[in-house]
Structure 1
Amino acid sequence: MVLVLTRESAWATNWLVNGAGTWEFISYGIVPGIFTLILLMKGEKIRWPVVPYLNEYLEIGLMVLWIYLGLWELVACFQPGNPWPLSYLPILNPLDIAQIFVIMVMIRWVWQIRKSRFFAYILVFTTFIWLTAVLGRAVHFWGDVSYTTHALFDSTLFQASVSILWTLIAFGAMVWATRKDRREVWVVGAWILGIVVVKLFFKDLAGTGTVARIVSFLAVGILMLVIGYISPVPPKK
């Protein structure tokens, strides 16, 4: 039933916006996400056919949808997200809003049904990829860079921006880990920071100097100094 509703919604959306592919693609995430959210919030009140098999619906059935939503989320990160006929704004555009909704639904399932670190780590990774995609789309629309892996990899603006973004993510993770005494989270942040440092020397600074490269190098350096000062590694338990 979910597949049928999703396909019909995608077809109707595609017809309404006259073939704009982004809107059709969004339907493939929004409809299963809404169905998942309804079951999580109101499943115990749906007498038939949910209540007699409530655990099966919430655990097994929604796990299948959770995996589907996770795959949709990752595929969405490779979509340019043209919001036609609307104007593009980072995060405040149809595709990013849909991705935020799907991530929140996935978080709700993990928090309510399957309290597992494994699924939580998948969510963290997915969110990390999405944030990078948000930056890539901003560079695509505002920096006139094609939204392809090759074009973004060769873009000085994107490479400089992503270095700062990843450092900010590492900064947030490490500060939170220090406050909450979560050594494993701090280590993840340190790994991200290490990747940024390697990227700076082997990619960002490999070519001729530009303002973007200089700004990213200085910003990352300052953030690393701040991290070292306010976010020491939590002790082993």
Structure 2
Amino acid sequence: MESEKVIDHIVNWLKDYATNSKMNGFVLGISGGIDSAVVSALCAKTGLRTLCVEMPIHQHPSQVTRAENHILNLKKKFANVTDIRVDLTQVFEQFKGAVPHVEVNPALDLSLANTRARLRMTTLYYFAGLHGYLVAGTGNKVEDFGVGFFTKYGDGGVDLSPIADLMKSEVYELARHLDVADEIINAAPTDGLFGDSRSDEEQIGATYDELEWAMIKEEEGKSAEDFSGRQKEVFKIYKSRHNANKHKMVPIPVCEIPVHLK
């Protein structure tokens, strides 16, 4: 991949989209992870206003530190970058206290994790509406179109997706060219939605390198029966996630009423 040319292409695409939309800049959440670090750097390079928002909810200290350090480095390089911290912990706790739930429900943890992502989406759109900004998405190709590892109307609720055509490995490549800090590049990817340090790999059951391999093989028309051992296991994980989360990747179903019934 010609990383520098890809960076220039994305930066120009972002700038053109914002200009044509008559918007003033971009807003995005900074998690301390590789994807938000890369997207924020790309937005900053447009020269347009870029608002980086920290939105901790019982966040692991290491994630907070990485996010803070990244924002500080960006602000040193780009005069158009500003930041704000909105601690949503109390909002989240108030929400939990307002809704009925059964502690033994096995779906409770995931439902609350998705609630965190949706509270953050709401916060980003508050600032977007306030300043005339576009909400920049941070999902990559494997997450958005492979295994669907994002929250519908949470981190999936965005105005535009600068890196959604890039594999995770390609995002890392761009990160090195954008001088993203080693502490972010070397950190285990995590969605940060459970208040601990559990990684994406622990949740999914496969690494991003493995998932990229499975995504490519699936696009080549392969099936699980073409593989054995770990490869077969990974391919099954990929297909299972892809099928279960396909509803996130397609338009909302619309019940079309026959003309003769109207």
Length-normalised TM-score, structure 1: 0.26
Q: Which has the higher contact order (CA 8 A, sep 6+)?
A: 2
Higher radius of gyration, 1 or 2: 1
As a proportion of its length, which structure holds more helix?
A: 1
